[in-house]
């Protein structure tokens, strides 16, 4: 695969990695699972147990696992045709996915801020 195609694949594969990582670590549908894992993490006696349970509550940490799964499914490699291409792809994919998640998080904050400002203006207008 030429470099342009690899770059396109990297950008495209970053989207499902970001989507899955964000959904599992932030959205309401997985809240119970996150709370369960968080309790297990806090109660664990070993450092390894705490780290393993923490993985599902951190979008950056979880994106490594999702990236590994996506790379395994797609057989995606970057720059090199051996195992090193998979390693490079994994880290590049995590980086791209986290850029997408950062953009999404900022967009959500901006939308929430705008919504609150509109509500405040509506309340002020209603009070006049």
Q: How far is CA 100 from CA 45, 61, 63, 118, 126, in A?
A: 35, 15, 11, 27, 39
State mean pLDDT over 7-30: 94
**pLDDT score of 100:** 96
Q: Note the pTM of the prediction, 2 decimals.
A: 0.79
Judging by beta carbons within 10 Å of its beta carbon (0-12, 13-18, 19+), is residue 72 exposed, middle or buried? Answer: exposed
Q: Range of 13's domain?
A: 3-126
Lowest mean pLDDT among 29-33, 53-57, 89-93, 98-102: 53-57
Residue 61 φ then ψ, to 5° = -60, -45
**pLDDT score of 84:** 95
Distance separating alpha carbons of residues 12 and 96, to the nearest angstrom: 9
Structural contact between residues 70 and 76, judged by C-beta atoms closer than 8 angstroms: yes
76, 100, 98: which is closest to 88 by C-alpha? 76
3, 7, 20: which is closest to 70 by C-alpha? 20
| Residue 54: pLDDT over 80 | no
| Residue 128: pLDDT over 80 | no
pLDDT in tens, 80-121: 999 999 999 999 999 999 999 999 999 989 998 988 888 888
**pLDDT score of 78:** 93
Q: How many domains is the chain built from?
A: 1
């Amino acid at each position: 695969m030429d470099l342009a195609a690899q770059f396109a694949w990297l950008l495209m594969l970053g989207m499902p990695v970001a989507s899955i990582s964000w959904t599992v670590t932030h959205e309401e549908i997985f809240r119970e699972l996150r709370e369960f894992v968080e309790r297990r993490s806090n109660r664990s006696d070993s450092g390894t147990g705490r780290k393993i349970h923490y993985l599902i509550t951190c979008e950056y940490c979880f994106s490594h696992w999702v990236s590994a799964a996506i790379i395994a499914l797609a057989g995606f490699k970057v720059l090199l045709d051996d195992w090193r291409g998979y390693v490079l792809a994994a880290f590049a994919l995590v980086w791209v996915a986290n850029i997408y998640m950062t953009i999404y998080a900022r967009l959500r904050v901006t939308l929430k801020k705008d919504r609150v400002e509109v509500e405040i203006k509506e309340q002020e207008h209603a009070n006049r």
